[in-house]
């Protein structure tokens, strides 16, 4: 629900109906929408971190790991044209409670730190790695947004290939 509609579209009663439980049960665990969104965002960045760690563990070549990074964002598009929940919520940042913003920023930082570390392993100087990591992260998230807006994952693939051709992401 958060990937499809963001924080603004998150409704505890609707969510309870979707998962087949009583709203009171959901409210017992999450007294407010902010509490639910915080837990969901925390779980989202924890899962993202685990996924990135799995890529690092399976793929020895850091350039190949960087090539795999866009695939982590592509998965949401493949799932009913959704987008990264944290990107969606970042667009709503003016309306987010502070506790939710903290978890969204952790997602961003997990991705940027992983990219920067991997870039250093490819030989990018440490002083430049974080700036380039920010650029890659923003480009990949932007490609996802463009593809979602058009309802076409091929737009995402075309943009990622353009980033590779320009040297932003190793090809």
User: What domains lie within the chain, and their CATH numbers?
Assistant: 40-166 (1.10.357.10)
pLDDT tens per residue across span 69-98: 999 999 989 988 887 787 878 888 898 999
Widest CA span of the chain, in angstroms? 54
pTM across the whole model:
0.88
143: CB partners within 8 A, 6+ apart = 70, 73, 155, 156, 159, 160, 163
DSSP string, 12-48: HHHHHHHHTS-HHHHHHH-SSHHHHHHHHHHHHHHHH
Confidence tier at 4 by pLDDT (50, 70, 90): confident
CA 33 to chain centre: 20
């Amino acid at each position: 629900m958060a990937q499809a509609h963001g924080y603004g579209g998150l409704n505890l009663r609707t969510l309870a109906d979707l998962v087949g439980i009583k709203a009171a049960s959901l409210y017992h665990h999450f007294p407010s929408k902010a509490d639910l969104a915080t837990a969901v965002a925390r779980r989202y960045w924890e899962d993202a971190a685990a996924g990135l760690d799995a890529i690092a563990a399976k793929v020895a070549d850091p350039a190949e790991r960087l090539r795999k990074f866009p695939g982590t964002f592509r998965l949401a598009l493949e799932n009913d044209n959704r987008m990264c929940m944290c990107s969606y919520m970042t667009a709503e940042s003016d309306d987010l409670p502070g506790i939710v913003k903290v978890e969204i920023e952790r997602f961003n930082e997990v991705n940027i730190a992983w990219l920067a570390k991997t870039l250093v392993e490819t030989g990018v100087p440490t002083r430049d790695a974080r700036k380039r990591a920010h650029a890659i992260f923003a480009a990949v998230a932007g490609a996802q947004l463009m593809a979602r807006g058009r309802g076409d994952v091929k737009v995402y693939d075309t943009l990622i290939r353009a980033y590779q051709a320009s040297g932003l992401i190793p090809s």
